[in-house]
């Protein structure tokens, strides 16, 4: 558990030895990401990743301490370098919108990220960098430190929820044929849900609540920030 922190935070110099290595942490991570991108996180086993590199699974353990370690490196590699939002013209809202869009795009490219980033786990510098970006975008808003943290957490959570399919019981109702059929059969029991789902299904296809939720969250932040700037007005 502690080793991977070193693996993530310390530069990986190989002790000066100029050896040519068949296997490196980066190659392993790349192979694992390939597996996850194409077959999902469940398919990421040491066996599978090793097979893709034409190597036995135990060979991987020469470079990563555990599977959790491997996943941590995968994440750190997949999230990419955090953006510099200071170059984005506009206020906090413009910047946070940009941040959210970039984040969403990254997570869209690697749909396994929501599944991989649950539970307690080590965090790498690039991932921290993304958080830094968002917190920094809220610098001049008058929010307290705790509020800035909470705001970024709220936004991150929204990305996670909309990017991982079927996280809550709510979403698939409008699309999943099977669920729609069940709902139709029990429409007497769930009239409000049935009506909303039917109406939603007839309307233009949804983006999984992404835009809706983002706008609501930013509106809510806006309300708070405005109040802070003008504390004596409603």
Residues 184-203 close enough to bind a copy of itself by CB under 8 A: 186, 189-193, 195-200, 203
| Interface residue with a copy of itself, options 144, 184, 228, 229 (CB under 8 A) | 144
Count, residues near a copy of itself per rule CB under 8 A: 76
Give residues 9-28 in contact with DNA (rule: CB under 7 A).
14-15, 17-19, 21-23
Tell me how far CA of residue 139 lies from CA of 81, 93, 142, in angstroms.
21, 12, 7
CB within 8 Å of 56: residues ≥ 6 apart? 50
In the complex, what is the shortest distance from the CB of residue 4 to a copy of itself, in angstroms, rounded to a whole number? 12
Residue 204 dihedral angles phi and psi, to the nearest 5°: -65, 150
C-beta of residue 124 within 8 angstroms of C-beta of residue 75: yes
Look up residue 24 and give its DSSP letter.
-
With CB cut-offs between 5 and 8 Å by kind, which of a copy of itself, DNA, none does residue 146 bind? a copy of itself
With CB cut-offs between 5 and 8 Å by kind, which of a copy of itself, DNA, none does residue 44 bind? DNA
In the complex, what is the shortest distance from the CB of residue 27 to DNA, in angstroms, rounded to a whole number? 9
Q: Report how far residue 156's alpha carbon sits from residue 223's, in angstroms, rounded to the nearest whole number.
A: 19
| Helix, strand, coil content of the chain in percent (nearest 5) | 65, 0, 35
| Interface residue with DNA, options 5, 34, 66, 190 (CB under 7 A) | 66
In the complex, what is the shortest distance from the CB of residue 58 to a copy of itself, in angstroms, rounded to a whole number? 24
Give me the helices (H) in 164-208, please: 177-185, 191-202
With CB cut-offs between 5 and 8 Å by kind, which of DNA, a copy of itself, none does residue 209 bind? a copy of itself
* By CB under 8 A, residue 66 contacts a copy of itself: no
Give residues 46-65 in contact with DNA (rule: CB under 7 A).
46-48, 55-59, 61-63
* By CB under 8 A, residue 88 contacts a copy of itself: no
With CB cut-offs between 5 and 8 Å by kind, which of a copy of itself, DNA, none does residue 97 bind? none
Radius of gyration of the chain (CA): 22
Q: Report how far residue 67's alpha carbon sits from residue 73's, in angstroms, rounded to the nearest whole number.
A: 10
Q: Report how far residue 229's alpha carbon sits from residue 212's, in angstroms, rounded to the nearest whole number.
A: 26
* By CB under 8 A, residue 164 contacts a copy of itself: yes
C-beta of residue 187 within 8 angstroms of C-beta of residue 194: yes
Give residues 2-41 in contact with a copy of itself (rule: CB under 8 A).
5, 9
Closer by beta carbon to DNA, 19 or else 178: 19
Question: Could you give the angle at the alpha carbon of 16 between the alpha carbons of 25 and 55, nearest 5°?
Answer: 30
Contact set with DNA (CB under 7 A):
14-15, 17-19, 21-23, 43-48, 55-59, 61-63, 66-68
């Amino acid at each position: 558990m502690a080793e991977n922190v070193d693996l993530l935070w310390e530069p990986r110099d190989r002790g000066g030895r100029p050896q040519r290595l068949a296997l490196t942490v980066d190659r392993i991570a790349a192979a694992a990401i390939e597996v996850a991108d194409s077959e999902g996180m469940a398919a990421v086993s040491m066996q599978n990743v090793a097979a893709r590199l034409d190597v036995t699974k135990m060979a991987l353990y020469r470079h990563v301490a555990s599977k959790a370690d491997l996943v941590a490196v995968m994440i750190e590699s997949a999230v990419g370098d955090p953006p510099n939002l200071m170059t984005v013209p506009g206020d906090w809202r413009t910047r946070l919108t940009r941040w959210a869009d970039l984040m969403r795009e990254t997570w869209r490219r690697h749909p396994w990220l929501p599944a991989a980033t649950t539970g307690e786990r080590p965090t790498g510098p690039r991932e921290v960098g993304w958080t830094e970006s968002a917190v920094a975008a809220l610098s001049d808003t008058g929010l307290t430190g705790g509020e800035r943290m909470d705001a970024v957490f709220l936004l991150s959570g929204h990305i996670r929820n909309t990017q991982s399919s079927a996280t809550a019981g709510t979403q698939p109702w409008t699309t999943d044929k099977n669920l729609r059929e069940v709902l139709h059969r029990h429409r007497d029991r769930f009239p409000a849900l049935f009506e909303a789902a039917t109406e939603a299904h007839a309307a233009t296809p949804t983006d999984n609540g992404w835009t809706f939720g983002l706008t609501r969250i930013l509106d809510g932040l806006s309300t708070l920030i405005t109040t802070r700037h003008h504390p004596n007005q409603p």
